[in-house]
């Protein structure tokens, strides 16, 4: 028969391996520790933070950088996703500032140009505009920047 201490030690080792393999945030780990008593879960979280396995600021920077560069997410979508993970507002702001604006703009232009080409067969201009804006806003790009690109594409 296992004791609570054995369960806690085993779970700590499991969470250390998980955090060593990829970036995690507190809310991710807290969700995985629901089987443990709350006090044990908080002890494990404290240990992971103290030993450098868990750092919400580092997680936020990595998340923002990856979502912007690899999936072409805009800052609004990234901000909402990080808020959903219950990260501190200061960590979120720092992560958004760390995104390379030139690379993000280039990725945005590339995605929106591709969407415009995909909509070439749409004959109704109102539907075409609605689909374009829905796509861009769903990606987390702001209305003003989307409108600027839309107007440019429409002129060309």
User: What's the domain count of the chain?
Assistant: 3
pTM of the model: 0.88
How far apart (Å, rounded) are the C-alpha atoms in residues 48 and 127? 51
* 36: containing domain: 4-54
CATH code of 66's domain: 1.10.10
Residue 12 has pLDDT above 60, yes or no: yes
Q: What is the pLDDT of residue 110?
A: 95
Mean pLDDT of 107-127: 95
Integer Cα distance of 24 and 72 in angstroms: 21
* Band (3; pLDDT cuts 50, 70, 90): low
Instruction: Report how far residue 7's alpha carbon sits from residue 37's, in angstroms, rounded to the nearest whole number.
Output: 11
Could you identify the residue written with the tokens 């030993």?
A: 51
My answer on whether 75 and 39 are in the same domain is: no
Q: What is the pLDDT, as a whole number, of residue 4? A: 63
Matching residue, tokens 């080792």? 13
Q: How far apart are CA 92 and CA 62, in angstroms?
A: 11
Q: What percent of the chain has pLDDT over 70?
A: 97
Does position 65 have pLDDT exceeding 50, yes or no?
A: yes
What is the rounded distance in angstroms from the CA atom of residue 52 to the CA atom of residue 54? 5
Per-residue tokens: 122: 């749409």
85, 115: one domain: no
Whether residues 108 and 142 fall in one domain = yes
pLDDT band at 89 (very low <50, low <70, confident <90, very high): very high
Average pLDDT over residues 28-38: 88
**With bands split at pLDDT 50, 70 and 90, how would you rate the model's confidence at 39?**
confident
In a shared domain, residues 69 and 111: no
Shared domain for 45 and 79, answered yes or no, is: no
């Amino acid at each position: 028969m296992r004791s609570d201490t054995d369960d806690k030690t085993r779970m700590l080792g499991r969470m250390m391996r998980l955090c060593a393999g990829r970036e995690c945030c507190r809310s991710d780990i807290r969700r995985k520790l629901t089987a443990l008593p709350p006090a044990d879960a908080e002890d494990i979280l404290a240990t992971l933070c103290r030993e450098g396995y868990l750092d919400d600021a580092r997680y936020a920077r990595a998340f923002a950088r990856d979502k912007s560069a690899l999936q072409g997410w805009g800052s609004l979508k990234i901000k909402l996703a990080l808020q959903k993970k219950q990260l501190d507002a200061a960590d979120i702001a720092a992560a958004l500032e760390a995104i390379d604006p030139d690379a993000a703009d280039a990725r945005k232009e590339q995605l929106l140009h591709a969407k415009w080409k995909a909509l070439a067969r749409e004959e109704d201009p109102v539907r075409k505009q609605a689909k374009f804006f829905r796509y861009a806003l769903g990606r987390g790009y702001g209305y003003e920047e989307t409108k600027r690109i839309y107007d440019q594409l429409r002129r060309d």
